[in-house]
Structure 1
Amino acid sequence: MSWFKRSRASNGSAEPSPTKERSDTDPDTCLEVFRNHWQQASVIINRKNHGKDGVTSDEVETVIHNFGQMITLLVREEGVEGMPGPILHFFLEKDILELFCSWCAKSNEYAVKLKHEQLRMFEMLISQSKQLLLIHKSVIRPLLKLLSSCTEGNLQSSETYDIEHQLVLVLHQACVCISQQLLILESFFCTNTDHGPTRFLIFSLLIPYVHREGPVGQHARDALLLIMTLSAKHPHIGQYIATNSDFCPVLAAGLSGLYSSLPRKIPNPSDHWYILTNEDCNKIPELQMFLNSLEFCNAVVQIAHSMVKEQLTKYIYDGFLLPVLGPALHQDYVNMASTQ
């Protein structure tokens, strides 16, 4: 299983192209198109009575459509000799992302839809942009606000998966970007010890998904391993993970829970069956989830900072091997069979 998925693919979240754009399109023309889309969106975003009367469904769709076209133009733009291109310059100068995200936060009736759209657009910005965006405060501030809002458990069960999936994609892409451009790291890691769990918000948001099945869990584990690699190079990150986060106890407790949910018996495919193959494991979801988490723990121990390795090993030994796996291995087969 590959734990390092550093692909910068858009995961199918790309916005449809505005007009079919040639690679030699005049930058001034692209900027003008960008401005036009912003003008249409800003009429609604800047409306003074927004808080009183709210917005209509058509207005929400208008803003989403125009902002999506703007994002598509922005991610296609290349910088000019290391400096922001004209679209990015205008985007930062007008603080457009902050205005858009603030407007979304006020639109309570469409909060879930707009949160999903914001996450989708951030994922596109981070993964597809030809310019480095996560060094600009005008991008980082609204992103951190949006991520913080995702810690609020106010979603219905039917809405949870789509938001969680899009959230983890954004977190994963942010970790990829940080691992490739280390200067971004300090923008997301607060050195103030008073910030508690939000001191490293990206990391804290990933922990609840570490034992999750499916693409959400896979992307979360990939992202966390990128952070583990960073921790080996930056001792303050390793120290934070080991002493100021619940990462290690969550991993150990998850192993115990997943082991307890394993089936008591494994059906024999044939009379000559004698070995558990990968194909057999794939047919038993509970076993596959346990093995995924076990493999992830092994990968963490191999690549993380020494403090993280020691803490994780201790928690697994004291919280899983001794109280859970040990008694199971020493359980008398006859007694076990009689209880089934």
Structure 2
Amino acid sequence: MMGSGVTGGNKKKSQTLRGVDPDTCMMVFKNHWTQVVKILDKHEPSRCGALSFFSGLSGASPGASGGGGVLRLPTIPSDEASAVHNYVEHMLYLLMEEEPGRGGAMGPILELVVVEGVMERLFLWSLRRHFTVDLKLEQLRMYQMLLIHARQPLLHHKPILKPLMVLLASCAENTTDGGGQVEQVERELVSLLQQLCVSLVRDPSVLELFFHSTQDQGAANFLLFSLLIPYTHRQGPVGEQARSSLLLIMSLSALESRVTQHIVEHTYFCPVLATGLSGLYSALPAKLKVYSEDWHSLEEADWMQIRKC
């Protein structure tokens, strides 16, 4: 769905937007979205039906074959899928480059994205196209690009945050697609989770929205933290990113009691952490060898050789 230029991190095209009249950008965005909607409407029973289906995704896996039989509908023609792909690519560039309005108000493009539920409908479009691994990767990378490069805060708006949360949950739950593709999804998922944690630390006021965005999921309503736990003891870059992200959330818990309460009472982080520490403890030697009288001392020459983290 998303263009490779956006999802791959290449912003060369977006440079040409600087200095362009904002009204022109808005007109182009609106025209592109109109064309996308024409295609989307052909494959959705109705606007209300689509959004009611989306509302029900919070309590179930979006990739399930039940869910109203969405994944059993006829295949979408390749020319229509390609058209949406190209329109959305240009729309994302316009959204990323838009400056906020006076006093930090939403720009007209962002306002249209929120009012029209653009991100919800694009997520539904991915589901309608069977939500393949490639589509998961595209959506994960799309949100990473928006969070990193957008000139306006996006997470303050529930029509953007809610489909993002459902996307994260669906990518975490469906890990049976096979081998390296699953690893790719996991890498992009944890990378996006880390970016979200960084955004939370920079702007803790968004934390309230994260709790409310998935409040219908009960005890698991702080989905961001719960999704990181399975990667706590993972080796390699994925595990390092997950642990770094968890530490960022822990730093927030010192300021926000709700986060502390959620971690202790509504997640299995404590037993996971205890199990890991227990494993490390059991790996310690039963006895320490005494090599010299000053074996217990750490001299300057010793700590100078320790690799800096």
The interval holding the TM-score normalised by the smaller chain is 0.7 to 0.9
Q: 2:138: which partner in 1? A: 117
Structure 2, gaps ≥5 residues long: 46-69, 290-309
Q: Does 1:195 align with 2:152?
A: no
Structure 1, gaps ≥5 residues long: 1-9, 260-320, 333-340
1:181 is matched with which residue: 203, 217, 228?
A: 203
Provide the C-alpha distance between the structure 2 equivalents of 1:19 and 1:31, rounded to a whole number of angstroms: 15
Cα offset, 1:49, TM superposition: 6.8
8 Å Cα contact 2:7/2:141 also seen in 1: no
Cα offset, 1:106, TM superposition: 2.1
Cα offset, 1:200, TM superposition: 0.9
2:157 is matched with which residue: 127, 131, 136?
A: 136
2:16 corresponds to which letter in structure 1?
A: E
Provide the C-alpha distance between the structure 2 equivalents of 1:184 and 1:238, rounded to a whole number of angstroms: 16
Cα offset, 1:133, TM superposition: 0.8
| Count of paired positions | 256
Q: Does 1:205 align with 2:162?
A: no
Distance 1:111 1:90, change over 3 A: same
1:41-52 aligned within 5 A: 41-48=36-43, 52=73
Q: Does 1:105 align with 2:127?
A: yes
Q: Which moved more, 1:226-235 or 1:35-44?
A: 35-44
**CA offsets 1:251-296 (integer angstroms, 9 cap, x no match):** 2323455x5xxxxxxxxxxxxxxxxxxxxxxxxxxxxxxxxxxxxx
Distance 1:107 1:41, change over 3 A: same
Higher Rg of the two aligned structures: 1
Distance 1:61 1:216, change over 3 A: farther
**CA offsets 1:190-225 (integer angstroms, 9 cap, x no match):** 5969712x2210000011112223322222122111
TM score, norm. by length of structure 2: 0.74
1:164-175 aligned within 5 A: 164-175=186-197
Provide the C-alpha distance between the structure 1 equivalents of 2:123 and 2:217, rounded to a whole number of angstroms: 26
Provide the C-alpha distance between the structure 1 equivalents of 2:79 and 2:221, rounded to a whole number of angstroms: 39
Provide the C-alpha distance between the structure 1 equivalents of 2:209 and 2:44, rounded to a whole number of angstroms: 35
1:25 corresponds to which letter in structure 2?
A: V
Q: What CA RMSD, in Å, does the superposition of the two structures yield over aligned residues?
A: 2.8
Cα offset, 1:169, TM superposition: 1.7
1:226 corresponds to which letter in structure 2?
A: L
2:183 is matched with which residue: 154, 158, 161?
A: 161
1:151 corresponds to which letter in structure 2?
A: A
Distance 1:215 1:45, change over 3 A: farther
Distance 1:14 1:201, change over 3 A: same
Cα offset, 1:125, TM superposition: 1.4
TM score, norm. by length of structure 1: 0.68
Provide the C-alpha distance between the structure 2 equivalents of 1:192 and 1:38, rounded to a whole number of angstroms: 30
**CA offsets 1:10-66 (integer angstroms, 9 cap, x no match):** 998325554751521100111122123323333322213796422134433332332
Distance 1:17 1:57, change over 3 A: farther
